[in-house]
Amino acid sequence: MTRLVKMGAIGAAALTMTGCISLGSEPPESLLTLSPSVTADAGTGADASTSDASSAISILPLEAPAKLDALRVPVAVSDTEIAYLQEAFWVEKPARLFRRLLGETLRARGGTLVLDNDDTPLLAAQSIRGTLMEMGYDAPSSSVIVRFDAIRTREDGTVMSRRFEARETGILAEPASVGPALNRAANTVADEVASWVTNAG
């Protein structure tokens, strides 16, 4: 498994191990990101007044475990060992990327004002939050996994939760294969969450 960088017991030590990624002055050749498979058409939109935000839905900042609180792609080597995929760097932390992906997926369905910006002054009556549990590579099964535990608060105060997961198997442990596969899996999860939100009323 030559393309994996193993984590040491002390996180900083991993950067000094033989064959590890250098985070020095030279930037990586390319960065990974998430691109929506569907987008809202130019010129389309929705609005809601600050006094009546019942038609708006806010996507709140998402939680993530420590292994995803980084710009690197985690790899599950075993049940008790985690590594990072060599030469694979996200342009932003995965939870922020997935939050925007989910927002654009909901926006593309139309008819709802979607707020996924921390600076918005509008307090939406509906919200989506949750934890991005997995967005990485599983070495034993040669697969990528995206898992999101979503919590939806409706305008009447009802709170619902659901786990969403997508995976693709037969993926080589290299950025050129893992990156696109994670993007497809993330879009599958975002689409399922959007369907859950819009169909639940």
Chain segment 74-111, per-residue pLDDT in tens? 999 999 999 999 999 999 999 999 999 999 999 998 76
Whole-number Å distance between alpha carbons of 198 and 182: 24
Provide mean pLDDT across the span 163-176: 97
pLDDT of res. 33: 96
Mean pLDDT score across all residues of the chain: 82
> Would you state the pLDDT for residue 192?
97
Examine the pLDDT at 115 and tell me if it is beyond 70. Answer: yes
pLDDT score at 166: 98
Nearest to 60 by CA among 130, 143, 108: 130
Region of 187 on the Ramachandran plot (φ > 0 left; ψ -120 to 50 alpha; else beta):
alpha
pLDDT confidence band for 49 (50 / 70 / 90): very low
Q: What is the 3-state secondary structure (H, E, C) of 173-191?
A: CCHHHHHHHHHHHHHHHHH
Lowest-confidence pick of 52-56, 169-173, 182-186 = 52-56
Instruction: Set out the domains of the chain in order of their start, with CATH numbers.
Output: 62-111+129-199 (3.40.50.10610)
